[in-house]
Amino acid sequence: MAWGRKPPHAVLLRGRSGLGKTELARAYAKWILCESGEAGAAACGVCQACQWFEQGGHPDFRQIEPEALAAGSAPDDDTVDEPRSRGSAKPSRQIKIDQVRALQDFLAVGTHRAGLRVAIVRPAEAMNVSTANALLKSLEEPPPGTLFLLVSSQPARLLPTIRSRCQALDVAPPRTDEALAWLAAEGVADAPAALAFSGNAPLDALADAGASGLRKALPELLSGRWEPLSVVDRLQAEEPVAVIDALQKWVYDAQLTGVISRGRYFPGEADGVKRLSGCPPQALARFSRTLAQARAVASHPLNPRLFMESLFLELSRLEGDRHG
């Protein structure tokens, strides 16, 4: 980062999910805490401080995150409101006020290694108003030698007072060739398709490649003369919000194909997307708005089954009326 070992007291790393913002924050925190004394661009990885950091036991480091992320049930690098599969456990998706109070207790004690203390908060938008206001007190009067690294994919959801206390750093997507080379090195066989579906977010593409993935399932289910209720049956293991995300990409590609004859998220599924692109543009736009409205409540539908059925029935009617 541009500030070297003398950063501002609070930094907001912002950008789309799946870009590795948390990994960037952790790499910087590890470098800040490294005690090798070398002026390299990364932590040495061998000093005692680096070893503590890797083992999760550095006394001057804290990472504050929702239980859903700490438990590993949310695969994105900094997102907790878009799970890919439905599990039986429901860990909290919010950063609780007790976690911020525990952080304040940590900050009230002097540093253990005579250097900086570093606290990562991710995703920062997972704080409710009470939690954010509790953190704001520490941001307004930061203890000496403390660095806050806030990670956010949706910075507009943060309190303006939180944003105003941080120096923002935009994390941009990598070049396509760099992302594809990294995915290939990670063993992803269909890297171009996975990267396209993720919107050029390499970590999302890697997670998709390691699962069954709606990227592969949705085109298969919507091929030929598909039946809405059967499709919903096949998608019972998926969270509604993940299905809506895939449907939004499917409809976006249909709208784009009608203009430039190619899609963005499903480049290898021209036939299915093209069939949908034959629908009237106004009807596609209405369904796109329906999906956007559904997305706002998809994390907590009253009846997930009926919720999904209504969307696929509407999509089925939309395809059935495409020659109308």
Q: Where are the domains of the chain?
A: 10-170, 173-211, 212-320
Q: What is the pLDDT of residue 247?
A: 94
Q: Is the pTM of this model over 0.85?
A: no
Q: What is the pLDDT of residue 7?
A: 80
Please tell me the CATH code under which domain 10-170 is placed. 3.40.50.300
Residues of the chain with pLDDT under 70: 1-5, 39, 71-89, 210-212, 270, 321-324
Q: What is the pLDDT of residue 2?
A: 57
Q: What is the pLDDT of residue 161?
A: 95
Report yes or no: 5 and 43 within 8 Å, Cβ to Cβ.
no
Q: What is the pLDDT of residue 73?
A: 43
Angle, vertex CA 205, rays to CA 315 and CA 301, nearest 5 = 40
* Domain boundaries 212-320, CATH class: mainly alpha
Q: Residue 236 has what DSSP assignment?
A: T
Question: What are the φ/ψ torsions at residue 64 (nearest 5 degrees)?
Answer: -105, 125
Report yes or no: 314 and 287 within 8 Å, Cβ to Cβ.
yes
Report yes or no: 295 and 248 within 8 Å, Cβ to Cβ.
yes
